[in-house]
Amino acid sequence: MLRLLSGNPITRTVLKTLYKPRRKLPVKLFGHTYAHPFGLAAGMDKNAKALRGWEATGLAFVEIGGVTMLEQGGNPKPRMFRASHAQALVNRMGFNNDGSEKIQAALKNHFSRHGRPGVPIWVNLGKSKITSLDEAPMDYATTMERLWAYGDVFVVNVSSPNTPNLRELQGDEGLQSILMACGNVNEACSKQSGVPRKPVLVKVAPDMTSEQLIHIAETAKSNGADGIVVSNTTIERPEHPDPRDSAVFSQQGGMSGQPLRDRSTAMIRKVRQAVGVDWPIIGVGGIASADDAWDKLAAGATLVQAYSGFVFEGPALTKDIVNGLHKRLEASPYTTIEQVVGSSTD
């Protein structure tokens, strides 16, 4: 629906009028100036169908995917469940997407017809289900090579709970080999095109100890990753769910939304304290308001993303969060949103 509405100049203008924030909270990162720190997380627009729509509704950046080397139908339906009272989702989608070749063709067509989008496009890289763990570096690198010309930032997703054994790639050897393979592609494409190399981030799971989290962050940083995304969905569930949500939380899959909010914020703070002030952290997990976003920025996130929040709040979420952040900033001792980053870790 968003793709259709944004395809018409009149309705696209209506979208901008209704939903695009008027406030500017600029953040400079990865060679771009983001209009504000709020973007779309991976999983919502897996096949890059509504790029003009997301831009029209005011998001500062859009992460497409996860994209896998091979086309995948995903897990059997039903595979997405809504816990309305907890404002949470449980999904076991299984990286359903059109595959890197079809998405490459779609992006090529989009760019040729409409030009490069006005906001940075991030690409979430996943592993094809039938690809063995040993061949995972090739799988990630192939997708990155096919989409390199169209993505501004690439996110190595080794943390989805819905691809068998994928999280094993968060270990030293797996992560190092994937980052090396993607780094080689990055370097080759950069030289060939005469364009600077693209930032590569790692997306991690919340289901680990603080020691494991810090170790993965340090491993990623020391092996060339340009930042980290904290965090993906969790396989854990709330201790005392509303009885009306219990059936949803009994489903297998990854949980996102409000119950993940505090944990992901605490993880951001731990990573920031461990890696210092200069390495970018992208905060995602349970953002449904300006206060949620502010907490993640203050904990150390440079940019933030939402996924489940759009399901429960709708497209007005962007405007609400950006305007709310502007109000918080005016009432704070800071003059720019960049000064807020990590302020609660000082």
Show which residues are catalytic: 160
Residue 250 and residue 83: Cα distance in Å, rounded?
Answer: 11
Residue 137 and residue 178: Cα distance in Å, rounded?
Answer: 4
Residue 326 and residue 143: Cα distance in Å, rounded?
Answer: 38
- Quick one: which H or E segment has residue 34? strand 32-34
Question: DSSP letters along 83-117, please?
Answer: ETTTTEEEE---S-B--HHHHHHHHHHHHHHH-S-
Task: Report whether 322 contacts 25 (CB < 8 A).
Answer: yes
Per-residue b/e over 3-16, b at no fewer than 16 CB within 10 Å?
eebbeeeeebeebe
Residue 320 and residue 290: Cα distance in Å, rounded?
Answer: 7
Residue 255 and residue 261: Cα distance in Å, rounded?
Answer: 11
Q: In this structure, what are the phi and psi dihedrals at residue 238, rounded to the nearest 5 degrees? A: -60, 145
| Phi-psi sector, 238: left (phi>0), alpha (psi -120 to 50), beta | beta
Q: State the pairing for strand pair 80-83/88-91.
A: antiparallel
DSSP 31: T
Strand 88-91's sheet: what is its strand order? 80-83, 88-91, 254-257
Residue 12 and residue 172: Cα distance in Å, rounded?
Answer: 46
On the question of a cis peptide bond just before residue 128, with omega within 30 degrees of 0, the verdict is no
